[in-house]
Structure 1
Amino acid sequence: IKDTSVIVEMDNSRNLDMDAIVAEVRAQYEDIANRSRAEAESWYKQKYEEMQTSAGQYGDDLRSTKAEIAELNRAISRLQNEIEAVKGQRANLEAQIAEAEERGEL
């Protein structure tokens, strides 16, 4: 058995269909890219809708606050007019008191 030699032959001439492999990899890549694109679009659409809702709510809050400010400004104006009227009445009463004191009625 010492001088025995073994010859093993292998058939390494497999035909690799590179076009099919490239096509399969491309299809997998395109599938992943399409799913990623769809997920991103869905996420951005959801965020956009959330922002639209928030913007609408903030717009409503802003309109409400502006209306409240306008009402407060009207109230301030009315109070300022009342203050001026009361000041006029006070000045008139002070003048009447001064006249009464001059005439000796007080």
Structure 2
Amino acid sequence: MNKVNLEAKADDLTHEINFFKTFYETELPELRSQISDVSVVLSMDNSHCLDLDGIIAEVKDQKRWPTAAELRLRPGTRPTRGRPLEYPTEIAEMNGAIQRLQAEINSIKNQCDKLDAAIVGRLRVAEM
């Protein structure tokens, strides 16, 4: 039964393709006869002025000032709470957090890969 349905669909699609081919072949000459040359004139307004020196100076100023993260990572600096850094414990906590986040990222990537494979499988089944 499935093969008969697929053959019927294939025949319908073949008839539709042939219809569009004949339609295209009849309409194309008519459209070509209606097309005429069109001249287009474009003009551009380049009157805006870029202040490149100002932009460069602004970027240099931004690069000159360290970010808050850079200040926290510098040895001997204190956090804004006023207590000295507890390097070994804070580093261990951060490393643990990094490992947990990396494991979570890998888990999510695996889930995405499985979903992608399932979608591809469903599409292949649908195409048959």
Indicate whether the TM-score tops 0.5: no
Larger Cα Rg: Structure 1 or Structure 2?
A: 1
Output the TM-score relative to the length of structure 2: 0.34
Q: Which has the higher helix share?
A: 1
Output the TM-score relative to the length of structure 1: 0.40
